Amino acid sequence: MIRASVPGHSLARGTLNLLLLQEPDLGPGDLARVRGRRARHVREVLGAQVGQRITVGLLNGPLGRGELLEVSAEEVVLRVQLEGASPPASGIELLLALPRPKILRKVLQAAASMAVERLVLVNSFRVEKSYFDSPLLAPQALLEELVLGLEQGRHTRLPQVEVRTRFKPFVEDELSSLWPSSQAAKVLFHPGASGPLRPESLGAARLVAGVGPEGGWIPFEVDLLAQQGFKAVSLGPRPLRVDVAVPYLVGQLTLARDVARTQS
């Protein structure tokens, strides 16, 4: 892990456990150039120097190593070898009632750092409609938050984010082809559910978790999702904020699948 070598220097936003490169950063040859936030981070926070080697990765591609050739105020130049493996996929996807922007920002970063593969941000009766107007939902803004998460989690695969402003058409018309019950185990984390997650049914390659808004899904929504194969499970007796609930349930799903596979 790359660690701050300048004591007391706070990490501006997120932690750069890998330098994530995108196609436009590459070339000519095996060189890569980064500017802006990433260059400042490499220089000021990592305190990296010419000759040093750091972990790099290509967005949606493999991991690799980069040797620093130039470190200036404007730009960092590296010689990169992108011949590592691609980081392992998690198989976890989320159906999330759109949270308020401040919470969404944290959820996007956390989800990317945990290698969540897809987030569908959906409307729900208890979602405030103004949340859909947030500038955070613009593609470039989403990308920025997700990249911070990938840098933290040393992951390269960008989660696919989809926004659906209408709950019923999404659930009735799109959900079954996106997550066919033959391929995906679907659980709905819901305060009203009678029991906790049961590992037995979670050996599937794809795990989909539904997470409601702060006040919970309404019965109509729970019923409609149940018709599409979502089994309601409880997160326990305590209402958790969505940015806490998401890592909590991703931890549970990951362990449940481990247990299911060990037992089968």
Binding site for a copy of itself (CB under 8 A): 1, 3, 7-8, 10, 14-15, 17, 87-88, 100, 102, 110, 113-115, 126, 128, 130, 152-155, 191, 196-197, 199, 214-216, 236-241, 244-252, 254-256, 258-259
Q: Label residue 129 exposed, middle or buried (CB < 10 Å: 0-12, 13-18, 19+).
A: exposed
What is the smallest separation between the CB atom of 169 and a copy of itself, expressed in angstroms? 24
What is the smallest separation between the CB atom of 31 and a copy of itself, expressed in angstroms? 27
Which H, E and C letters describe 130-178, residue by residue? HHHHCHHHCHHHHHHHHHHHHHHHCCCCCCEEEEECCHHHHHHHHHHHH
What is the smallest separation between the CB atom of 256 and a copy of itself, expressed in angstroms? 6
What is the smallest separation between the CB atom of 91 and a copy of itself, expressed in angstroms? 12
Q: In whole angstroms, what is the distance from residue 47 CA to residue 31 CA?
A: 20
- Between residues 131 and 167, which has the closer beta carbon with respect to a copy of itself? 131
3-state secondary structure of 186: strand
- Between residues 5 and 227, which has the closer beta carbon with respect to a copy of itself? 5
Q: Tell me the one-letter amino acid at 236.
A: G
Phi, psi angles (nearest 5°) of residue 248: -60, -50
- Between residues 22 and 86, which has the closer beta carbon with respect to a copy of itself? 86
- Between residues 83 and 133, which has the closer beta carbon with respect to a copy of itself? 133
